[in-house]
Structure 1
Amino acid sequence: MNLEPPAMISFNLLKPFGRFSSGSPNRVRARAERLSETAPERALALFAAAAEAGDMEAAFIVGERFLEGKGAPRQPFEAARWFYRAAEAGHVRAQCRLAQLHLFGLPKAAVGPNAKLFHAVELTGADHAAALPWAQRAAEAGAADAQALLAYILTSGPEDVRDPDAAIEWYRKSAMQDCPQGRFGYAVALLMNADTAEQTSAALYHIVRAADAGFPAAHYLLGVSAERGVGAVLDETEARRHYTVAAEAGLSHAQTRLGLMLIDGRGGPADLLNGESWLRRAAIGGDSEAAARLGDIYARGGALPPNYAEAAHWFRTAAERGHKAAARALGMLHLTGAGVARDPDEAATWFQQAAEAGDCDAQANLAALLQGGAVSAFAQDPPPVHDWFERAAEQGDLVGAFNFAVCLAEGVGVPRDDVRAAFWLKRAAEGVVNAQYWYGRMLAEGRGVARDDGEAAAWFARAAEAGMPDAQVAIAECHIAGRGVPRDHRLAQSWLARAASAEHAGAMVALGMMLGGGHDIEPDQRDARRWFARAAEHGHPLGALMLARHAWRGIGGPQDIEAARHWYEHAVSLGAPEASAELALFEKVLADAGTKADIDITLHPASSDAPSARVGM
């Protein structure tokens, strides 16, 4: 941020009023105070004249006027130079104000004997080292607000400035003078070290006193305490009241909490419009959590109608401020094309941002994209997803262990290593359902471990009981073939029905195969055709082919030549084996027959006989 050079008025102030320099500066200041509201420019000139005559209170007032833009254009750096003059002479409030300006970003070189006039000055970050001596001088003089400011510097400054023990003592001194900032800082320090209910209660006493004095952050903290029942009785009505006070004072975190309570109807009646408005104000004010919550609300729908474009806007706002969950959510929108253009590369970019910030789900999403080969953005320099997962695995994270095992099993970022993959899958299988299924596959195929059908079936069953459809299909196939478990087609049918109810298209096809005959259950061609139809509608190639065969031959329902042609063509488009040859034969039979009514369905190829119920894992 660049500020223009100081206004010329500050250096021409004294010319028309020079005669007052030899008079009483107190009288000049008194006259300036009388003109303060009616003639602010003239009052400023008089205050400056009194300051030049040695009145440091007047110098402080001139600084305040330049800071407020009262009587002259707002000039923070010119204000700082007047504060410096008064501070050097021992003016306590000027010392405190100068410390505050240094924390705001005023560079040390902007004031003092070596400062250059009429030069634009660049605001820097907070200069704790420059603020420290001024805050210390004012604090030692007994100024309560300066004591709180000094404690803040000693708490939040760089390592070479920090002194936590001294900070607590300065906060305590400020609190004893009933300074709201001091009470609040002292309370936070006490809470951070509280081990007993009595210590927590003592901290809350100071927070309450700071809130009574109108300190917004104290109201926010009391709201958190009441909402979560920390050190106080859980009382959402009281929490909402405190959040309202802090939110109206402009505290963005309070605006976020209040907005969520209004939307959820906690602590009082639900108010969707005001709740959304408070979240929006907090998000616009820079609160990344508020922006992320808005995105989540619009993405999920419910309290407010779903709006993916609006969700994408707020997720992007939060993600650009470093919110990792919002970055992952924005990646998912780009992956699915909801509210934004479908773009796997853009999705991968946001997943990478979240992944590098430590979001485990984003790491898994990015790994899946890379594994599927849908991303070109990282073709030359893929991110080290395997390293992320390996570090997490070695730290005992079971999800990380599973993801690292998948990288090893599929060769994502590392050479394929079935032995290490099996090792990490077995470790992850103790708590991750997907790992139980994957480890079962490794055992069933003898990849990385000795083949063991019984152990494989046990892991499939464990994952199936947890509700994983792929595992339910796998254990059903084991019971159909009697591989590692007793042959039991009725139990297999039950497992397939559970998977099919979860919309697993392969399970639907397998159910149709079993019901078509040749298994130890009662055939039901009508039900078989129904399952093939459901699988075909889910885009399963074999489901479409079987439905075409049934429609042509009139199995499980009436013969339907047009439906047969449609599903044969669909099966071809899905890449079903034998579909092209059967479609050609189908058309030839129709052409040879001359009319649909004369079709001899006995000419259907032998390959139409129902194959095994195995649908693959």
Structure 2
Amino acid sequence: MATRDALPIIRAARTGTAAAQLALGARYFYGMSGLPQSTGTAFYWLERAARQNLEEAFMMIGQNVPYETVATMARPYEAAPWYEKAYDAGVLKAGLVFARIVLEHVKQCGVGAKKKALHVLKSLADAKDHEAQWMLAQYLHQNVPPSANRHSGAIESIEAVRFGNELTQKAAQAGIEAAQYSLSEQAWQNGSYKEYEILATPLAEKLLQRYEIARSQHVKEPLAAAQIELSSQETALLMNYAEVLQSQTKVPLLRVQRLLEIVAISGSAHARLKLGLRHARIDLAGERTFPNHGAAHYTKAIPWLLYAAHDGLPEAWHALSRIYAKSEFSQRNLITSRGYLERAAEMGLLSAQIEYAQTSWRYRRESQFNDIRAAYWWLKAAEQGDVQARKELEAFAKLPLKGKWAEQILDQVTTKIRKANPFLSIRLEIAVAFGLSRPEALLLDFRKGDHGHCLEVDISKYHAKSRRRLVLVDSEEQREVLKAAARVFGDVDLSTNGPEGNYRKRQYKLKTLLPSSTP
């Protein structure tokens, strides 16, 4: 609660007295006269005093109010003149905030203010102000013309890049963390992995310490340590650093797992996937990894892989499928394995689609639907450009010569005959479209046989010599023929108990109504 001597100042500040607003802002900034210490509230009153051109307000704002507080204003660029005046009056730290405001709002502040902001940064950088060095380096890197990147001979631009790199080096050596991250990212992009390891090690150590502190506060609930939030830069650094360590001759696997654990707990799906794979000692292809680092820990791997899977990574479902199919896994379950494999395939993972097709084909005798499923997933894999899948699908291609007989008959069918015999006519069209033999065309229940991606041709119930087979629906013409057949037959029973009769009756109708169809 405010003390008695602060009450007149508060009343005067509310009525708009600049000196009172300045005094109240100072009290809130330092927590005096019984008022709570609050930079935000202090800036609220100092801003009102500054808008009345009170010099002392400029000085206090420039000396004490950081950019993050100014950024909460609706129009932060309006504060630029205050920091400029404070800098001109000798408050050097105000120059950094002035430069940042101007460079982030060039359009509102104008070209003149931009020139002065760059001049201020250059002066502070020359005076070994490391934050100014880093800010100027960022500006130089972000405003390099494309020609400099192509080494086209733009000397000024190249010099600007070189100067920016020098400033970044100096800022990083002085402990500016953002500059250190920038250098490590450059080393990674340039493929200088040894240099990257040197640069990333101290940064990774800091993050490890942060994690250990958070973990010690949540001993019973490790996942609660997710309160250690990682930026995209920190996530990338830990992931890349783990990859560098993993490429070494002697892999410090426990350290790699600890790095991945930090990123995984903070919510990275890819880190969760990698951590799960490390515990399972397999890679994305299912091959064994790190054979000299002990046995696989499937019970540790499964929770992380489930997190990654529910985060939307099909590779995680595929890895889970492989784990549950392993004979050495105490909880081996082939049904669960196939379920996870199907999920990965449904999410578009090519390797899962191929494996699911092969597995379904291998067990085709267990269920009549397995070969239909195999054809479907080979078709999906072929759509992604897999050559082997295309070869497998050749077994399901239509046989044009088988339907030649129907094509010859259709050439003689008139519109009058079509109208008089709609069922027989559409069966002939199906025979041509899918390469069906005469018995197949006359007896096929296409409604049951249509599985979307393929037509199941099975008349063994009525014709003992016929073999069940699948024909891919791989053209729009075939699909249109099946749609037309559905319209013509409607709800008509297609079995031998339906209006078309048994096989002999259908043969007789074909023979008598279309005499040219006789053998």
TM-score class, shorter:
0.3 to 0.5
TM-score by length of 2: 0.46
Which of structures 1 and 2 has the larger relative contact order (alpha carbons within 8 angstroms, sep 6+)?
Answer: 2
TM-score, scaled relative to structure 1: 0.40
